[in-house]
Chains A and B, each alone.
Chain A
Amino acid sequence: MFGNCSSKSGSEAGLYIHVPFCRTKCRYCGFYSEPIVEHDAGAVVCAMIAEMKRHELGEGISTIYIGGGSPSSLPPEHLFRLVHHAAQQCPAAAEFTVEINPGQADRDLLRGLRRAGVNRLSIGAQSFIQRELDFLGRGYAVDCIGRAVQEARTAGFDNISLDLIFALPGSCLDSWKHNLRTAIALAPDHISAYSLTYEDGTPLAKDLAAGLIRPVDEDIDRAMYELTIDDLARAGLDQYEISNFAKHGSECRHNLNGWANGSYAGIGPGATSYLKGTRSANFADIDGYVRAITSGASVVESSETLAGRERACETAVLNLRRRYGIDLAEFKSRTGFDPMQLFAEPIRTYQERGLIEKDGGRIFLTRQALGIADSILCDFALV
């Protein structure tokens, strides 16, 4: 059931554009972004377009994803410019996603995006409970979400994804059930549902360390996760990755390429790229980034090229996040390693414990293993 897109996506390449701005920073967010009012957004977008031109993108790029930060926090004309240039440079892109904050889902903006070639929207709904939105620092009212979805449909989008967060402090199984039900009622084509992560350095993590908030009990967190998998499946949204669910054919191709450990070019301050086996990261500093672009210097802050074995490990970890798992033949041809040999020990151990299954040409995590995937994947991360 995951076969089509998962195994095919391996040969794709993607373009990721990181918009480093937000209107306000959410309390849980660990991504790089800065308040837009403090910067000359036009100059930054110019620099990003210039960076795009440095890469030879062309026909090889099959997916584009503009994320952040908050792309919709940009003045529309700047966002349109970015979209326009991306579309122009990647004429063969079949999937073009833009992340939208429900509070910024303006009708004209959505129509403009659709007209410019964007065919997928990822709406950062997060929750349908006002108290939770306020807790996260999202800054919009619950009913904005429904309106945003409505406007998106009206604008002609037939591939809409909603982001949701569960296991917020103070939430319970019933409140999460309500969130799931409300999301399903909006009939999205795709849902990403994340258990709340306390990212280092975020205000939320500080509150946690200070004892101001109490995380949800592990058992409840797990129960919410299991409920998600079941309820979404009943609504026709099948799980295809640990935190991702889609109608058949609406899986996010851009991210599938990532879990296949495929190549992508990253544009913008703080963005990362993975090209020809090298991972690199751009300066996560807007002014430094713009200066480097205008002076013709490199924007890469750090890069790392993995040796064959390490790359194979990374590929396995990423592959196993997919319900499809590792395609044994494809893995071998991509990495040069036979996964049944390289990972013989963890595969045997976890098969015995019913946490990994082998079926035909693939191995994958069992349903029971998903909630504790890290404890298994760590044995694939280092062999």
Chain B
Amino acid sequence: MSTEHIRNFSIIAHIDHGKSTLADRILDLTGRVNARDKKDQILDDMDLERERGITIKASAVTLDYEHEGKRYMLNLIDTPGHVDFHYEVSRALAACEGALLVVDATQGVEAQTVANAHLAIESDVELIGVINKIDLPAAQPEATSEEIQHAIGIRKNECFHISAKTGKGVPELLEAIVTLLPPPANRGNERTAAMIFDSHCDDYRGVICYVRVFAGRLRLRRKIRFMGNGRTHIITELGKFTPTMTPVDELSAGEVGYVIANIRELADVTIGDTITDDAEPAAKALAGYKPPVQMVFSDFYPGNNTDYPKLRAAFEKLAPNDASFSFAAHNSPALGFGFRCGFLGLLHMDIIQERLEREHGIDVVQTAPTVSYEVLTRDGKVIRIDSPSDLPDITKVAELREPFVLLEIITTSESIGDVMKLAEARRCTLLKTEYISGTRVMLEYKAPLAEIVYDFYNVLKGISHGYATMDYEFMGFEKSDLVKMDILVNTVAVGALSLIVHRSTAEARGRRLITRLRKAIPRHQFEIPLQAAIGGKIIARETIKAYRKDVTAKLYGGDVTRKMKLLKKQKEGKSRMKSIGSVQIPQEAFMSILDSADSE
């Protein structure tokens, strides 16, 4: 098929704005799904995705479409809705020439709509504005199109008004895909160059690569070469998702499909790498992607110590299908055995935690998320650290740098004052304010990621009565006035509680932390000082008073057995606690201090 008759496109949208429903409707209209196979939202193949309304892995479907008597091949490449999966969104977009930007007519433009649109514009992808859910009574398609014009720059009269649910307007949209979106460049005669935009590991077939062919063609049983690592493989299966895997003999320039080539390990495949023909290789690789950057770290501990091997097994199963997730065994003297895990962002972290609990039945305790830092040493080296304990001796540090993000917030005009106050308290610098309608405003900040990962989103939701949405994009590391804060329990520094914090917020954080510690550590036979210190300087202090009364008043013959049992229980409780010097801390209490769930 000539590239003239191919259209490669994505659907991008804020969570719940109807992306997957629209994909389903398009599949219906192109006759790809028979009723028997039909489940709502076919492209989401994990239960969790369906339930949360979030699409985690990009998928691709090839559709047949007839327009003015000619057959077209439409390749729909699905994308994650959240910009935590920035990298996956950008991979999917790079495989497309066009994208549908879907906005819910009852909600209007949200932060993630804007972030996604930015990505598409950066990737040089042609955008079609789509206003969805116009069948709902609360729909305000006119106001929504105004917002799209203001926030994104698509003219309001060019937006399509549809209801993905009822199908209204979807046939017209399909026409527009053909008429408005550009076809892929005709490079069929050039040497083969296909880009891997996703991959996953199948227990039986090994690694399945999702590819977009940009030039030349891939053929069954040909020897291919991965230009990144130089490895060669024989293609054992080529195919398209229709949406089930349908083998073909050839994928040519402009097409999207999958490649199976007897590759065992996902680690052998680099997303963004170029596949070429081994005998007649392309002169140079396609422009690749930036590798995913893990910005958020958190320690995961099994809720029950005996679940440690189960947790390890679960991570080993999860990691191969999620290139942006990492884990490493981590043993804290205070908390026992667990894992230090790296994520793209907060939502990514939540999803991993939920999958552990749901798919693997493991109860996990997760510490408050932290970010990674850059250290410039006196001898000019730059190192990345993701834990305060990795911080080199302070005399060797020339500069500490923290990650900053471009933070996009869309909120109601009533809450703007509170939102700005919150942002200011979290060290954010306002870059832009823009009213996208009479009642809604878009704020753009430069924000330290550390302040965002902590509990920012929950507070933001609270002060805006649930209306505000936010999204962020990594900008880079910058020098910052950071200090390492130690927490001392009974004058002994507790490594697991050390923090890297900005000097301006150190005292407040330290105070909050030791207040929580005071509540969590039971009284002892002696007084326990709790201190937060920077360098040698104490910046906050509290004391746990010694307990005064712990004695059984009556103990006579008749009661010995029962009272002995109680004493044994008391002793067992003591043994379960972790010792820090002579202070015993129940592990659960320790967890509650670090737990992200109630950070305020």
Which residues of B, 565-588, contact A by the 8 Å Cβ criterion? 567-568, 570-572, 574
- Asked if A374 contacts B560 (CB within 8 A), the reply is no
Knowing A279-B561, A314-B560, the reply to whether A382 touches B568 (Cβ < 8 A) is yes
- Asked if A381 contacts B557 (CB within 8 A), the reply is no
Residues of A within 8 A of B526 (CB): 353
Residues of B within 8 A of A218 (CB): 547-549
Smallest CB–CB gap between A28 and chain B, Å? 11
- Asked if A370 contacts B551 (CB within 8 A), the reply is yes
Q: What size tier do the contact residues of chain A reach? A: 35 or more
- Check: A197 CB closer than 8 A to any chain B CB: yes
Chain B residue nearest to A369 (CB atoms) is B525
Which residues of B, 542-567, contact A by the 8 Å Cβ criterion? 547-558, 560-561, 564, 567
- Check: A379 CB closer than 8 A to any chain B CB: yes
- Asked if A258 contacts B557 (CB within 8 A), the reply is yes
Complex alpha-carbon distance, A373 and B556, angstroms: 15
- Asked if A381 contacts B558 (CB within 8 A), the reply is no
Residues of A within 8 A of B570 (CB): 374-375, 378, 381
Smallest CB–CB gap between A327 and chain B, Å? 19
Knowing A279-B560, A317-B567, the reply to whether A219 touches B553 (Cβ < 8 A) is no
- Asked if B567 contacts A381 (CB within 8 A), the reply is yes
- Asked if A382 contacts B572 (CB within 8 A), the reply is yes
Complex alpha-carbon distance, A56 and B561, angstroms: 24
Residues of B within 8 A of A321 (CB): 555
Residue interface bits A260-296, CB-to-B below 8 A is 1, else 0: 0000101000011010000101000000000000000
Knowing A225-B549, A371-B549, A378-B568, the reply to whether A266 touches B558 (Cβ < 8 A) is yes
- Check: A243 CB closer than 8 A to any chain B CB: yes
Smallest CB–CB gap between A373 and chain B, Å? 4
Knowing A353-B526, A355-B525, the reply to whether A374 touches B552 (Cβ < 8 A) is yes
- Check: A182 CB closer than 8 A to any chain B CB: no
- Asked if B553 contacts A197 (CB within 8 A), the reply is yes
Knowing A353-B525, A355-B525, the reply to whether A371 touches B567 (Cβ < 8 A) is no
- Check: A221 CB closer than 8 A to any chain B CB: yes
- Asked if B560 contacts A221 (CB within 8 A), the reply is no
Q: What size tier do the contact residues of chain B reach? A: 20 to 34
Residue interface bits A159-171, CB-to-B below 8 A is 1, else 0: 0000000000000
- Asked if A372 contacts B550 (CB within 8 A), the reply is yes
Smallest CB–CB gap between A63 and chain B, Å? 11
Contact of B548 among A242, A372, A373 (CB under 8 A): A372
Residues of B within 8 A of A266 (CB): 557-558
Smallest CB–CB gap between B544 and chain A, Å? 13
Residues of B within 8 A of A279 (CB): 560-561
Q: Which of A16, A373, A382 has the most CB of B within 10 A?
A: A382
Smallest CB–CB gap between A265 and chain B, Å? 10
- Asked if A274 contacts B567 (CB within 8 A), the reply is no
- Asked if B525 contacts A375 (CB within 8 A), the reply is yes
Residues of A within 8 A of B560 (CB): 258, 272, 274, 279, 314, 318
Smallest CB–CB gap between A361 and chain B, Å? 24
Smallest CB–CB gap between B581 and chain A, Å? 13
Chain A residue nearest to B575 (CB atoms) is A382
- Asked if B553 contacts A374 (CB within 8 A), the reply is no
Complex alpha-carbon distance, A353 and B526, angstroms: 9
Smallest CB–CB gap between A144 and chain B, Å? 23
Complex alpha-carbon distance, A195 and B554, angstroms: 9
Which residues of A, 218-257, contact B by the 8 Å Cβ criterion? 218-219, 221-222, 225, 242-243, 255
Complex alpha-carbon distance, A378 and B571, angstroms: 5
Contact of A219 among B548, B557, B567, B568 (CB under 8 A): B548
- Asked if A197 contacts B567 (CB within 8 A), the reply is no
Contact of A374 among B550, B554, B556 (CB under 8 A): B550
Complex alpha-carbon distance, A304 and B561, angstroms: 9
- Check: A157 CB closer than 8 A to any chain B CB: no
- Check: A135 CB closer than 8 A to any chain B CB: no
Contact of A372 among B525, B557, B561, B571 (CB under 8 A): B525
Contact of B554 among A194, A264, A373, A376 (CB under 8 A): A194
Residues of A within 8 A of B549 (CB): 195, 218, 221-222, 225, 371-372
- Asked if B555 contacts A382 (CB within 8 A), the reply is no
- Asked if A379 contacts B551 (CB within 8 A), the reply is no
Residues of B within 8 A of A370 (CB): 551
Chain A residue nearest to B574 (CB atoms) is A378
Complex alpha-carbon distance, A278 and B549, angstroms: 32
Residue interface bits B305-338, CB-to-A below 8 A is 1, else 0: 0000000000000000000000000000000000
- Asked if A374 contacts B551 (CB within 8 A), the reply is yes
Knowing A375-B525, A378-B571, the reply to whether A271 touches B558 (Cβ < 8 A) is yes
Knowing A279-B560, A314-B560, the reply to whether A382 touches B553 (Cβ < 8 A) is no
- Asked if A377 contacts B556 (CB within 8 A), the reply is no
Residues of A within 8 A of B557 (CB): 14, 16, 258, 264, 266, 272, 274
Residues of A within 8 A of B554 (CB): 194, 197, 243
Chain A residue nearest to B554 (CB atoms) is A194
- Asked if A373 contacts B550 (CB within 8 A), the reply is yes
Residues of A within 8 A of B567 (CB): 317, 374, 377-378, 381-382
Residues of B within 8 A of A219 (CB): 548
Which residues of A, 332-383, contact B by the 8 Å Cβ criterion? 353, 355, 370-379, 381-382
Residues of B within 8 A of A377 (CB): 567
Which residues of A, 57-106, contact B by the 8 Å Cβ criterion? none
Complex alpha-carbon distance, A48 and B500, angstroms: 73
Smallest CB–CB gap between A172 and chain B, Å? 16
Complex alpha-carbon distance, A192 and B561, angstroms: 22
Chain B residue nearest to A223 (CB atoms) is B548
Chain A residue nearest to B565 (CB atoms) is A381
Knowing A218-B549, A279-B560, A372-B548, the reply to whether A318 touches B555 (Cβ < 8 A) is yes
Smallest CB–CB gap between B519 and chain A, Å? 16
Residues of B within 8 A of A221 (CB): 548-549
Complex alpha-carbon distance, A271 and B556, angstroms: 12
Knowing A374-B567, A382-B571, the reply to whether A195 touches B555 (Cβ < 8 A) is no
- Asked if B572 contacts A195 (CB within 8 A), the reply is no
- Asked if B553 contacts A243 (CB within 8 A), the reply is yes
Complex alpha-carbon distance, A308 and B525, angstroms: 30
Smallest CB–CB gap between A102 and chain B, Å? 19
Complex alpha-carbon distance, A89 and B525, angstroms: 48
Complex alpha-carbon distance, A355 and B551, angstroms: 14
Contact of A381 among B525, B551, B564 (CB under 8 A): B564
Residues of B within 8 A of A373 (CB): 550-552
Complex alpha-carbon distance, A198 and B558, angstroms: 18
Residues of B within 8 A of A381 (CB): 564, 567-568, 570-571
Complex alpha-carbon distance, A314 and B550, angstroms: 18
Chain A residue nearest to B561 (CB atoms) is A279
Complex alpha-carbon distance, A264 and B556, angstroms: 11
Chain A residue nearest to B552 (CB atoms) is A374
Which residues of B, 506-529, contact A by the 8 Å Cβ criterion? 525-526
Q: List 14 A-B contacts (CB under 8 A).
A: A14-B557, A16-B557, A31-B558, A197-B552, A218-B548, A243-B553, A266-B557, A272-B561, A279-B561, A313-B564, A317-B567, A372-B525, A375-B547, A382-B571
Question: Interface residues, chain B, CB within 8 Å of chain A?
Answer: 525-526, 547-558, 560-561, 564, 567-568, 570-572, 574
Which 7 pairs show the lowest CB-CB distances between chains A and B?
Answer: A381-B567, A222-B548, A194-B553, A378-B570, A378-B571, A258-B557, A373-B551
